[in-house]
Chain A
Amino acid sequence: MTSYISGRLGQALLIALIISLVTFLLLFVAKDPARALASPEATAEEIAALRRGLGLDQPLYVQYGRWLAGVVRGDFGVSLYSRQPVTALLPARIRASAQLAGSAIFLVTIIGIPLGILAAVYRGTIIDTVVTALAVAGQAMPIFWLGLMLVIVFSVQLGWLPVSGRGTWQHVVLPAVTLGYSVLPLTMRLTRSSMLEVLAQDYIRTAHAKGLQRRRVYLKHALRNSATPIILALGLQFGALLGGAVVTETVFAYPGIGELAVIAVTTADLPVVQAIVLFAASVVIVANLLADVLAAVVDPRVRY
């Protein structure tokens, strides 16, 4: 078990390294931050001086090595635009995104899982059809468009909720619904199929035969046994959730890490992009790793 975990950990570190290197190479090769930063009438000498000042005249491997050494010490460099240290720029953004993601996951849990259970329990009925249709439609929905439609209805027509920004709880509602809808279909489908599998087991028939209340059978006997695959698969959805956050935050001008990513990429703010990519990838890697390890603990066959 230990060797399995350490092997996976080693691969996770390798993956983080590859991702940071790819990002570095892509942005380094094509963008010249010095030119973007300098004023339009700056001379070639001024741009060269700026490049020296930022350390951009050094060879690629020196720059990457210096960046990597900084990261190990917890120093992610300075934003080329705001001139603030990246470590000062990110925490507030991460908090905002975490609040958004947390609200979205909460909505998905209280809506998606009960709907999935209902669809499984009432398999083949109209309830099942409606839930399945909702899931199929959700998978095809461009979520940035859904966000805009929600704005039209709830902000423009009804005037109930603010169009964009952050501050009160009202600001979180529409973005959270939008982001939540990006992972809702999978949650409903998984809950449904996982429940169906469990409901076909002998011990469920036994529980019914014992004369237990239906509610008790479904919630206590069935849901508990189908929970593990649901949780594992949801852990793997972190990447999708992060991608969804980029989309959602852009539509609602919500000051989270996704919105910052779009700004940083379009302005070639290399240190900020690097930090965000590394952060996002780490979240996904850790979530995947935990899911893998948990799966290996539950099911020894996974290790082979």
Chain B
Amino acid sequence: MRRFRSRSGRVGLVGFVFILLVAVTAPLLAPHDPQEQAIVYRLRPPAWMTQGSSEFVLGTDQLGRDTLSRLIYGARISLLVGGAAVLGAGVVGVLLGLIAGYFGGRIDYAISTLINAAWSFPFILLALIIVAVLGSSVTNLIIALIATSWASFARIVRGEVISLRDREYIDAARALGAPVVLIIAKHILPNVLSSILVMASIEFARAILRESFLSFLGLGVPPSVPSWGGMLSEGRSYIFSHWWLVTLPGIAIFVTSLSINLLGDGLRDAFDPRLRR
């Protein structure tokens, strides 16, 4: 890859690596067990406020659980769900996009119709329906997110493959009798890889935002698992008296999705300097 020049891209990379490290080393970093309840310590404010204590740097929630520890563990859910969703959506979308773009004709019409159907289905309704039907669990959440984002990959890959499939070097490979799978894997896929990577970063950030909203509605991960969306949802009842309970998880979501977006912009610039503007 070309040098990673853009400053904002590097900021994004640093931010993303930091959050990744926090997620991986959560058991070492968290000062308390994120599930441990201590009613005597409930609704403590952060340390810098009066009545705050250094034992709970970011305060505690309505069950006396340590906010900082829950934020740290929440990074795991966000990255795990977002990452798995992007991986799944990427595999499904890229495969369908390659097939539609390469073969064209009726196959393309069928897949394009599916892509357009997925684009016309308001994602949040589709995700709501899937989670409501399957029940709320981490796996079902990932399935719902895959269902709402595969079409982005399929659409962009299809478009690129169409512009590539009639190039001379593809014709040459065909004339030499190369099997279709080999042509796609060796001559087409490498040329669309950069677009896929950029799309993956956009969809990764989106998946994290969507996961947090579904968890906020109570349709995401089970309440016992610490997640940023879930923390927002629980903190909402205390919005009048304990504003930090909804403020802090939101900042975590914002910073994570911002880092990934900046990283994606940096990748795009590195891959295709023409797009820089």
Identify the A interface with B (CB < 8 A). Answer: 11, 14-16, 18-19, 22-23, 26-27, 29-31, 136-137, 139-142, 144-145, 148-149, 151-152, 156, 193, 196, 239, 242-243, 246-247, 250, 261-262, 265-266, 268, 273, 276-277, 280-281, 284-285, 288
Please tell me if the beta carbons of A136 and B125 are within 8 angstroms of each other in the complex. no
With a cutoff of 8 Å between Cβ atoms, the chain B residues found around residue A276 in the complex are 125
With a cutoff of 8 Å between Cβ atoms, the chain B residues found around residue A22 in the complex are 117, 121
Q: What are 24 A-to-B residue pairs whose CB atoms are below 8 Å?
A: A15-B120, A136-B261, A136-B265, A137-B254, A139-B205, A139-B261, A144-B213, A145-B250, A148-B239, A152-B247, A156-B239, A156-B240, A239-B119, A242-B122, A246-B124, A265-B132, A266-B132, A266-B219, A276-B125, A277-B121, A277-B125, A280-B125, A288-B116, A288-B120
Please tell me if the beta carbons of B254 and A262 are within 8 angstroms of each other in the complex. no
Please tell me if the beta carbons of A193 and B277 are within 8 angstroms of each other in the complex. yes
B73 at the interface (CB under 8 A from A): no
Which of chain B's residues has its CB closest to A277's CB? B125
A26 to B127, CA, bound (A): 11
Which of chain B's residues has its CB closest to A10's CB? B113
Please tell me if the beta carbons of B128 and A261 are within 8 angstroms of each other in the complex. yes
A239 to B117, CA, bound (A): 12
Identify the B interface with A (CB < 8 A). Answer: 8, 113-114, 116-117, 119-125, 128-130, 132-134, 205, 209, 212-213, 216-217, 219, 232, 236, 239-240, 243, 246-247, 249-250, 253-254, 257-258, 260-262, 265, 277
Q: A18-B114, A26-B130, A148-B239 are in contact. Are A142 and B209 (CB under 8 A)?
A: yes
Which of chain A's residues has its CB closest to B233's CB? A144
Q: A145-B253, A149-B250 are in contact. Are A15 and B212 (CB under 8 A)?
A: no
Chain A proximity of B50: nearest CB distance (Å): 18
With a cutoff of 8 Å between Cβ atoms, the chain A residues found around residue B236 in the complex are 148
A284 to B236, CA, bound (A): 32
Please tell me if the beta carbons of B250 and A142 are within 8 angstroms of each other in the complex. yes
With a cutoff of 8 Å between Cβ atoms, the chain A residues found around residue B128 in the complex are 246, 261-262, 265-266
Chain A proximity of B182: nearest CB distance (Å): 29
Which of chain B's residues has its CB closest to A132's CB? B8
Please tell me if the beta carbons of A280 and B122 are within 8 angstroms of each other in the complex. yes
Please tell me if the beta carbons of B117 and A31 are within 8 angstroms of each other in the complex. no
With a cutoff of 8 Å between Cβ atoms, the chain A residues found around residue B119 in the complex are 239, 284, 288
A26 to B254, CA, bound (A): 32
A239 to B134, CA, bound (A): 24
Q: Is the interface of B mostly helix, strand, loop or mixed?
A: helix
Which of chain B's residues has its CB closest to A189's CB? B277
Please tell me if the beta carbons of A152 and B122 are within 8 angstroms of each other in the complex. no
Please tell me if the beta carbons of B113 and A31 are within 8 angstroms of each other in the complex. no
Which of chain A's residues has its CB closest to B132's CB? A265
Chain B proximity of A27: nearest CB distance (Å): 6
Chain A proximity of B130: nearest CB distance (Å): 7
Return the contact of B247 from the options A149, A280, A281 (Cβ within 8 A).
Answer: A149
Which of chain B's residues has its CB closest to A17's CB? B117
A280 to B129, CA, bound (A): 14
With a cutoff of 8 Å between Cβ atoms, the chain B residues found around residue A142 in the complex are 209, 212-213, 250, 253-254, 257
A234 to B133, CA, bound (A): 32
With a cutoff of 8 Å between Cβ atoms, the chain B residues found around residue A156 in the complex are 239-240, 243
Q: A18-B117, A145-B253, A261-B128 are in contact. Are A136 and B217 (CB under 8 A)?
A: no
With a cutoff of 8 Å between Cβ atoms, the chain A residues found around residue B121 in the complex are 19, 22, 277, 281
Please tell me if the beta carbons of B239 and A140 are within 8 angstroms of each other in the complex. no
With a cutoff of 8 Å between Cβ atoms, the chain A residues found around residue B132 in the complex are 31, 265-266, 268
Please tell me if the beta carbons of B120 and A148 are within 8 angstroms of each other in the complex. no
Chain B proximity of A128: nearest CB distance (Å): 11
Since A139-B205, A149-B246 are in contact, a sample of 16 more A-B pairs with Cβ atoms closer than 8 Å, ordered by chain A residue number, is: A18-B114, A27-B129, A31-B132, A136-B261, A137-B254, A139-B261, A140-B254, A142-B253, A145-B249, A148-B239, A246-B124, A247-B124, A261-B125, A266-B132, A268-B132, A284-B122
A193 to B277, CA, bound (A): 8
A262 to B217, CA, bound (A): 9
Please tell me if the beta carbons of A243 and B246 are within 8 angstroms of each other in the complex. no
A144 to B261, CA, bound (A): 19
Q: A27-B133, A144-B213 are in contact. Are A265 and B125 (CB under 8 A)?
A: yes
Chain A proximity of B10: nearest CB distance (Å): 14
Chain A proximity of B240: nearest CB distance (Å): 6
Q: A148-B250, A239-B119, A250-B217 are in contact. Are A273 and B124 (CB under 8 A)?
A: no
A116 to B253, CA, bound (A): 26
A29 to B243, CA, bound (A): 41
Please tell me if the beta carbons of A30 and B243 are within 8 angstroms of each other in the complex. no
Chain B proximity of A123: nearest CB distance (Å): 9
Q: A136-B262, A144-B216, A262-B217 are in contact. Are A285 and B120 (CB under 8 A)?
A: yes
Which of chain A's residues has its CB closest to B265's CB? A136
Q: A14-B113, A152-B246, A262-B217 are in contact. Are A30 and B133 (CB under 8 A)?
A: yes
A15 to B109, CA, bound (A): 12
A158 to B81, CA, bound (A): 37
Chain A proximity of B217: nearest CB distance (Å): 7
With a cutoff of 8 Å between Cβ atoms, the chain A residues found around residue B262 in the complex are 136
Chain A proximity of B127: nearest CB distance (Å): 9
With a cutoff of 8 Å between Cβ atoms, the chain B residues found around residue A239 in the complex are 119-120, 122-123
A16 to B113, CA, bound (A): 10
